[in-house]
Amino acid sequence: MSTNLYKSKLSVRDTEKAIKFVKDAFQRNLVKCFGFERVSAPMFVPSGEGINDDLNGVERPVTFDVPGNGGRMAEIVQSLAKWKRVALKRYGYRDGEGLYTDMNAIRRDDALDSQHSIYVDQWDWEMVISEGHRTEAFLKMIVTRIVGAIVDTLEETKRQFPTLTQKLSREVKFITSQEALDLYPQLSPRERERELCKKYGTVFLMKIGGALSDGKPHGGRAPDYDDWDLNGDILFFDAAIDDSVEISSMGIRVNAESLKRQLEIAGATDRLKYSYHKQILAGELPLSIGGGIGQSRLCMLLLEKAHIGEVQVGIWPDEMRAECEKQGIRLL
């Protein structure tokens, strides 16, 4: 956080109004761009079926027993990356059609800082594609349209709340994680993102998950939903905090070949026993592209907030609350 005293451009009550405005406007713009249909989403899924998002493979889902279901275990979702692809099949979506949903999750092992909370809210979306669309060019086209929807939402929000002055670039810099490492070999992955966003404004950092030339991946990615050669993160430079903000993690999903390859690299071939993975290997799930777009992150970015706790109610360490109060940051 900055050492300068921070002053929000919106009161708490106006902030709450603006949060709703941003969420309503962005959903409209997302549907306008893609024609997605909104569907209901689960808050929890059965344990042991491989349908929950494993994230980096080490995060522990919140689990509980369900007495009314014979005591079977269930777990709070960490994201809907896998569930959505199954839903595309179950609901009969065809090539070019897609869905979106409000996802509310708990990630108990996430770090708590100005951009991270154990409560995750995002728009999860997924679209059926053909084999011919499993290309970098198609991925870039989708990214450009999502960025356009975000910037359109910013312009609408600024008209509604004139005290806001945030500026975001519609022009996207596409760069791979290896190219980022080559440019800034002395920096950490997080520091590379900040430097890239400070230089270009809006960045899509591609190919996340596999090891780079230094032997490390740029960041964690589960091996069984995104194709590591056809994915990435949408990042914006946020002048209000002088830092980069990741708004979306997304990508073209694994097919049978990339699923097997990535599970072997990750040492996670035991997941092939799950129904979800078996369906991919058998070609029974549609090819798709999808991702998540952070709701609180987007509100934080567009409303020029210094802490994600200004746009969502969360749990924060006492020392963080004290530091925020000292700096003029009012947590909800």
Alpha helices in 177-317 (DSSP H): 177-183, 189-200, 256-266, 275-281, 295-302
Determine the 3-state secondary structure of 289 from DSSP. Answer: strand
Q: How far apart are CA 71 and CA 88, in angstroms?
A: 29
Instruction: Respond yes or no: is residue 246 known to be catalytic.
Output: yes
Q: How far apart are CA 87 and CA 49, in angstroms?
A: 15
Residue in 117, 249, 258, 288 annotated catalytic: 249
Residue type, 24: D
Residue type, 274: Y
pLDDT at 2: 46
Residue 3 has pLDDT above 60, yes or no: no
Residue in 27, 53, 79, 226 annotated catalytic: 53
pLDDT at 56: 67
pLDDT at 51: 80
Residue in 27, 117, 122, 262 annotated catalytic: 122
- 5 vs 146 pLDDT, higher one: 146
The model's pTM: 0.92
Q: Are 250 and 234 in contact (CB under 8 A)?
A: yes
- The arithmetic mean of pLDDT across residues 252-262, rounded, is 97
pLDDT at 236: 98
pLDDT at 53: 76
> In this structure, is residue 158 part of a structural domain?
yes
Instruction: Read off the pLDDT band of 1 (50, 70, 90).
Output: very low
- Structural domains of the chain, count: 1
> In this structure, is residue 69 part of a structural domain?
yes
- The arithmetic mean of pLDDT across residues 195-212, rounded, is 97
- Six-digit token string for 176: 């791979």
Residue in 227, 229, 246, 304 annotated catalytic: 246
Instruction: Respond yes or no: is residue 122 known to be catalytic.
Output: yes
Distance (Å) of CA 189 to CA 117, 153, 315: 20, 29, 27
Instruction: Read off the pLDDT band of 122 (50, 70, 90).
Output: very high
pLDDT in tens, 216-251: 999 888 899 999 999 999 999 999 899 999 999 999
Residue type, 87: A
pLDDT in tens, 148-196: 999 999 999 999 999 999 999 999 999 999 999 999 999 999 999 999 9
- Residue 332, class by beta-carbon neighbours within 10 Å (0-12 exposed, 13-18 middle, 19+ buried)? middle
pLDDT in tens, 40-98: 999 998 888 778 877 766 788 889 999 999 999 999 988 898 899 999 999 999 999 99
Residue in 75, 78, 79, 107 annotated catalytic: 107
Q: Are 59 and 99 in contact (CB under 8 A)?
A: no
Residue in 54, 156, 226, 233 annotated catalytic: 233
Of residues 247, 192, 195, 237, the one with CA closest to residue 214: 192
Instruction: Respond yes or no: is residue 233 known to be catalytic.
Output: yes
Q: Are 123 and 155 in contact (CB under 8 A)?
A: no
> In this structure, is residue 5 part of a structural domain?
no
> In this structure, is residue 131 part of a structural domain?
yes
Q: How far apart are CA 248 and CA 148, in angstroms?
A: 13
Instruction: Respond yes or no: is residue 124 known to be catalytic.
Output: no
> In this structure, is residue 63 part of a structural domain?
yes
> In this structure, is residue 7 part of a structural domain?
no
Who's near 86: CB < 8 A, 6+ residues apart? 51, 276, 279, 285
Strand pairing class (243-253; 288-294): antiparallel
Instruction: Respond yes or no: is residue 226 known to be catalytic.
Output: no
Domain region containing 150: 12-326
Q: Where residue 250 sits, what CATH number does that domain have?
A: 3.30.930.10
Q: Are 78 and 55 in contact (CB under 8 A)?
A: yes
> In this structure, is residue 4 part of a structural domain?
no
Instruction: Respond yes or no: is residue 213 known to be catalytic.
Output: no
